[in-house]
Structure 1
Amino acid sequence: MRPGVALRLALAGNRTDTVRVVLTALSAALASLAGLAALTVLAIPTPPGGRGSNNSEQYTNALLREPGLRGGTAVALLLLAVPVLALAGQCVRLGAPARDRRLAGFRLAGATPGQVTGLVAVEAGLASLLGTLAGLGTYLVGRVLLHRPDARGLLPLPTDVLPSPPVIAAVVLGLPVLAGLVGVVLLRRVTATPLGVVRRTRRERAPRPWAGLLILAGPTAFGLLAPINRWYADRAQDPPALLEPALMAGGALAALVGVVVGTGWLSYTAGRLLHRWGRGAAVLLAARRLTADPWAGSRTLAALLAAVIVGAGAAGLRASMIADMAANRATGQGLAGGEDFYLNTMDLVDRAAQLAVALAAGGLVVALVEGIVARRRTYAALVASGVPRSVIGRSVGWQALAPAVPAIVLALASGLLLIWGVAGRPRTYGAHSFQVCTGDAVRCADPSVLRTVWVPEVVVTPELPWAQLAWVGAGALVAVLVTVGVGLLFLRMSTAVEELRTG
Structure 2
Amino acid sequence: MRPATLLRLALAGTRTDGARVALTAVSAALATIAGLAALTVLAVAKPPGDAWVNSDQYTNPLLREPGLRPGVAFALLLLCVPVLGLAGQCARLGAPGRDRRLAALRLVGATPGQVIRVAVAETGVASLLGTVAGLAVFLVGRRLLHRPDATGRLPLPTDVLPTPAAMTAVVLGLPLVAALASALLLRRVTTTPFGVVRRVRTRAPWPWPGVLILAALATFAAIRPVLLWYERRDVVEPDWVAPLMLVVGGLTAMVGVVAGSGWISYRTGRVLHRYGRSAAALLAARRLTADPWAGSRTFAALLAALIVGAGAAGVRADFLAQAELTRRTGAGLSDPDFYLNAMGLVDLAIVVAMAIAGGGLLVAVVEGITSRRRAYAAQVATGVPRATIGRSLLWASLAPAVPAVGLALTVGYLLARGVSPAPRGGGYQSAVCDAGPALCDDPVTAERYTRTEWVPEVVVRPDVPWDQLAWLAAGGLAAVLVTVAAGLLFLRASTSVEELRTT
The reply to whether TM is greater than 0.5 is yes
Once the two structures are TM-superposed, the CA of residue 94 in structure 1 deviates from its matched residue by 1.3
Comparing 121-130 and 108-117, the one that deviates more: 108-117
Structure 1: how far apart are the matches of 2:301 and 2:81? 7
Q: Helix, strand or coil for the counterpart of 1:500?
A: helix
What do the CA deviations read for 1:245-283 (whole angstroms, capped 9, x no partner)? 333222222211111111001101111111111111111
Once the two structures are TM-superposed, the CA of residue 3 in structure 1 deviates from its matched residue by 1.9
**Equivalent in the alignment of 1:502:** 502
Once the two structures are TM-superposed, the CA of residue 101 in structure 1 deviates from its matched residue by 2.7
Once the two structures are TM-superposed, the CA of residue 11 in structure 1 deviates from its matched residue by 1.1
**Cα separation, partners in 2 of 1:19 and 1:436, compared to 1, 3 Å:** farther
**Equivalent in the alignment of 2:65:** 66
What do the CA deviations read for 1:308-328 (whole angstroms, capped 9, x no partner)? 000011111111121112112
**Cα separation, partners in 2 of 1:451 and 1:357, compared to 1, 3 Å:** farther
Once the two structures are TM-superposed, the CA of residue 434 in structure 1 deviates from its matched residue by 6.8
Instruction: Find the partner of 1:387 among 374, 384, 388.
Output: 384
Does the Cα contact within 8 Å between 2:106 and 2:193 map onto a contact in 1? no
Q: Helix, strand or coil for the counterpart of 1:187?
A: helix
**Cα separation, partners in 2 of 1:453 and 1:356, compared to 1, 3 Å:** farther
Is 1:421 the counterpart of 2:418? The answer is: yes
Q: CA RMSD in A?
A: 2.5
Q: Helix, strand or coil for the counterpart of 1:380?
A: helix
In the TM superposition, 1:355-434 aligns within 5 A as 355-425=352-422, 427-433=424-430
Once the two structures are TM-superposed, the CA of residue 229 in structure 1 deviates from its matched residue by 3.2
**Equivalent in the alignment of 2:325:** 327
Does the Cα contact within 8 Å between 2:25 and 2:126 map onto a contact in 1? yes
**Cα separation, partners in 2 of 1:436 and 1:470, compared to 1, 3 Å:** farther
Does the Cα contact within 8 Å between 2:302 and 2:354 map onto a contact in 1? yes
Structure 1: how far apart are the matches of 2:341 and 2:201? 52
In the TM superposition, 1:445-464 aligns within 5 A as 455-464=455-464
Q: Gapped runs of 5+ residues in structure 1?
A: none
Is 1:224 the counterpart of 2:222? The answer is: yes
Q: Helix, strand or coil for the counterpart of 2:299?
A: helix
Q: Helix, strand or coil for the counterpart of 2:462?
A: coil
Structure 1: how far apart are the matches of 2:25 and 2:332? 48
Q: Helix, strand or coil for the counterpart of 2:68?
A: helix
Aligned AA (1:163): P
Structure 2: how far apart are the matches of 1:474 and 1:202? 33
Does the Cα contact within 8 Å between 1:380 and 1:499 map onto a contact in 2? yes
Is 1:204 the counterpart of 2:202? The answer is: yes
Once the two structures are TM-superposed, the CA of residue 109 in structure 1 deviates from its matched residue by 3.0
What do the CA deviations read for 1:304-346 (whole angstroms, capped 9, x no partner)? 000000001111111112111211221123534x221110111
**Equivalent in the alignment of 2:278:** 280
Q: Helix, strand or coil for the counterpart of 2:159?
A: coil
**Cα separation, partners in 2 of 1:446 and 1:284, compared to 1, 3 Å:** same
Is 1:244 the counterpart of 2:239? The answer is: no
**Cα separation, partners in 2 of 1:105 and 1:231, compared to 1, 3 Å:** same
Structure 2: how far apart are the matches of 1:400 and 1:367? 11
Aligned AA (2:140): V
Structure 2: how far apart are the matches of 1:82 and 1:11? 26
Does the Cα contact within 8 Å between 1:83 and 1:306 map onto a contact in 2? yes
Does the Cα contact within 8 Å between 1:274 and 1:283 map onto a contact in 2? yes
Structure 2: how far apart are the matches of 1:252 and 1:22? 30
Structure 2: how far apart are the matches of 1:56 and 1:173? 31
Structure 2: how far apart are the matches of 1:270 and 1:236? 52
The two structures have a TM-score, normalised by structure 2, of: 0.93
**Equivalent in the alignment of 1:14:** 14
**Equivalent in the alignment of 1:174:** 173
Structure 2: how far apart are the matches of 1:225 and 1:86? 28
**Cα separation, partners in 2 of 1:283 and 1:28, compared to 1, 3 Å:** same
Does the Cα contact within 8 Å between 1:189 and 1:196 map onto a contact in 2? no
Q: Gapped runs of 5+ residues in structure 2?
A: none
**Equivalent in the alignment of 2:44:** 44
Structure 2: how far apart are the matches of 1:221 and 1:352? 25
**Cα separation, partners in 2 of 1:436 and 1:365, compared to 1, 3 Å:** farther
Once the two structures are TM-superposed, the CA of residue 27 in structure 1 deviates from its matched residue by 0.2
Structure 1: how far apart are the matches of 2:149 and 2:200? 66
**Cα separation, partners in 2 of 1:466 and 1:228, compared to 1, 3 Å:** same
The two structures have a TM-score, normalised by structure 1, of: 0.93
Structure 2: how far apart are the matches of 1:116 and 1:200? 14
Structure 2: how far apart are the matches of 1:235 and 1:16? 62
**Equivalent in the alignment of 1:486:** 486
What do the CA deviations read for 1:47-86 (whole angstroms, capped 9, x no partner)? 101243x311111101111111110000111111110011
**Cα separation, partners in 2 of 1:173 and 1:199, compared to 1, 3 Å:** closer
Structure 1: how far apart are the matches of 2:219 and 2:124? 35
**Equivalent in the alignment of 1:75:** 74
Structure 2: how far apart are the matches of 1:194 and 1:21? 24
Once the two structures are TM-superposed, the CA of residue 238 in structure 1 deviates from its matched residue by 4.4
Does the Cα contact within 8 Å between 2:188 and 2:200 map onto a contact in 1? no
Structure 2: how far apart are the matches of 1:490 and 1:443? 86
Instruction: Find the partner of 1:258 among 256, 261, 265.
Output: 256
**Equivalent in the alignment of 1:348:** 345
Once the two structures are TM-superposed, the CA of residue 132 in structure 1 deviates from its matched residue by 1.2
Once the two structures are TM-superposed, the CA of residue 44 in structure 1 deviates from its matched residue by 1.1
Q: Helix, strand or coil for the counterpart of 1:67?
A: coil
**Cα separation, partners in 2 of 1:341 and 1:178, compared to 1, 3 Å:** same
Q: Helix, strand or coil for the counterpart of 1:207?
A: coil
Count, aligned residues:
499
**Cα separation, partners in 2 of 1:203 and 1:410, compared to 1, 3 Å:** closer
Q: Helix, strand or coil for the counterpart of 1:433?
A: strand
Structure 2: how far apart are the matches of 1:419 and 1:334? 18
Structure 2: how far apart are the matches of 1:350 and 1:215? 24
**Equivalent in the alignment of 1:137:** 136
Comparing 92-101 and 404-413, the one that deviates more: 92-101
